[in-house]
Structure 1
């Protein structure tokens, strides 16, 4: 009895499917290593990603060849490698480049400073800024880290999480930065619920006296959360608040459309 050979097109499709599966598994392994500084053993990785240890071993060996993962200990633990840092730096630059014209336009419309931040654990880090044209304006240093619980952009990010995730990330009690800082989770959750409803979060002199802010959060083209905020001297914030929040939401929608276009 003869068995008909698979058509070439079917063979090609099978090979491509297998290649895509390997890439997906490699990505899952790297995500499993994302939040560990001491690395994981092959067995620990296998448990996290739901793959056989032998499969993990083959993929990790290939990732090590490209320095996407490196040895973390003599006992065989591995962690993310230097190639990841180089690639991540390139992506951050690309993201900031894409966002920059929209930040500039928003600053021109509002005549206020506009900040762009990425999320790093329980803090956010400013990665770009467009300084406003107002004589009295706010300025923060790019690279500076701020807490999530007392900043508009931080609270906008927290609004993307559920209440249990927020408690796990930042706990229940927080340091008072000003007399207006919300220092208990129960107080903060009231603001978070409002941010979920409205699409933006507000800082009412909670991080620094004399400064209020509005902020929004979104995912970039890689699915990482980023946040945009507009800090404003308190004396003119309330009169400008509605316009600031409306323009922030409009900018968020445009950027989300742009990120989805980049992904296609």
Structure 2
């Protein structure tokens, strides 16, 4: 005998709810290298501890989470790490032709970075063809408040979220660095309006940059930036901004087509 339609619909909703809750728990464990207790997870995701315990047990079976300490704390497991690494590698491969095209158009270096809490990590780079050019190593980290790619990311957040993430005062990397939140928030208003952020010798003297932010297929924040020696930047800033926005639109269109 076939199951009643109402029962099938209820079961489907229940299964979707479990998946959504599992995803919320996994997100709560992101960047928690020391792990969280079941009680801490329950508080963060606003679920009953018993519900968290059941879902965590299922995730442990698949090694999506593993024990972090003998006293019950858990952290992300090797399975989720492999999946994330695979998606990140796929995204870098997907983005690479767009970075190469942008670099060829501008004859400048193009960087791809991802956001890790309150800093950026460079994950790919296409070196420009100019003799005088800027190069940063893949894997290097940079602050958010004084970089073009960092400010492009911050502009996607609310003002309160910016303050919660990086505080109200910041290190001066150069004489041009923004060091107070009010000044930064005023600049982020402009970035939200035009879609591009600028670093005018705020991180490193002699180097300017423009950057845009977007999200990879997993929803992780990433940014594309073009660093340029200050001598060339003033005359190229508007053109670089236009090409960055065009590259962002093209890459987002490619990701949307892949997901369809």
> TM-score, normalized by length of structure 1?
0.92
Of 155, 159, 162, which residue of structure 1 is paired with 2:158?
162
The answer on 1:214 being equivalent to 2:210 is yes
Shift of residue 255, structure 1, vs aligned partner: 1.3
Unaligned runs of 5+ residues in structure 2 are none
Provide the secondary structure at the position in 2 that maps to 1:247: helix
Greater C-alpha Rg: 1
Unaligned runs of 5+ residues in structure 1 are none
Shift of residue 199, structure 1, vs aligned partner: 0.3
Q: Give the match for residue 77 of structure 1.
A: 73
CA displacement, residues 15-65 of structure 1 (integer Å, 9 cap, x when unaligned): 444333322221111112224333222233233323333322221111111
- Aligned pair count reads 260
Shift of residue 174, structure 1, vs aligned partner: 1.5
Q: Give the match for residue 125 of structure 1.
A: 121
Q: Give the match for residue 101 of structure 1.
A: 97
Of 196, 200, 203, which residue of structure 2 is paired with 1:204?
200
Shift of residue 122, structure 1, vs aligned partner: 1.0
Q: Give the match for residue 190 of structure 1.
A: 186
| Structure-2 separation of matches of 1:197 and 1:256 | 19
Of 29, 33, 42, which residue of structure 2 is paired with 1:33?
29
The answer on 1:248 being equivalent to 2:244 is yes
State the superposition RMSD in angstroms.
1.8
Of 1, 6, 15, which residue of structure 1 is paired with 2:3?
6
How do 1:35-74 and structure 2 match up within 5 A? 35-74=31-70
The answer on 1:134 being equivalent to 2:135 is no
| Structure-2 separation of matches of 1:61 and 1:24 | 16
Provide the secondary structure at the position in 1 that maps to 2:191: helix
Of 168, 174, 178, which residue of structure 1 is paired with 2:174?
178
Shift of residue 5, structure 1, vs aligned partner: 5.9
> TM-score, normalized by length of structure 2?
0.93
| Structure-2 separation of matches of 1:183 and 1:51 | 39
The answer on 1:145 being equivalent to 2:141 is yes
How do 1:17-32 and structure 2 match up within 5 A? 17-32=13-28
How do 1:106-117 and structure 2 match up within 5 A? 106-117=102-113
| Structure-2 separation of matches of 1:113 and 1:60 | 44
Comparing 96-105 with 47-56, which one deviates more in the overlay?
A: 47-56
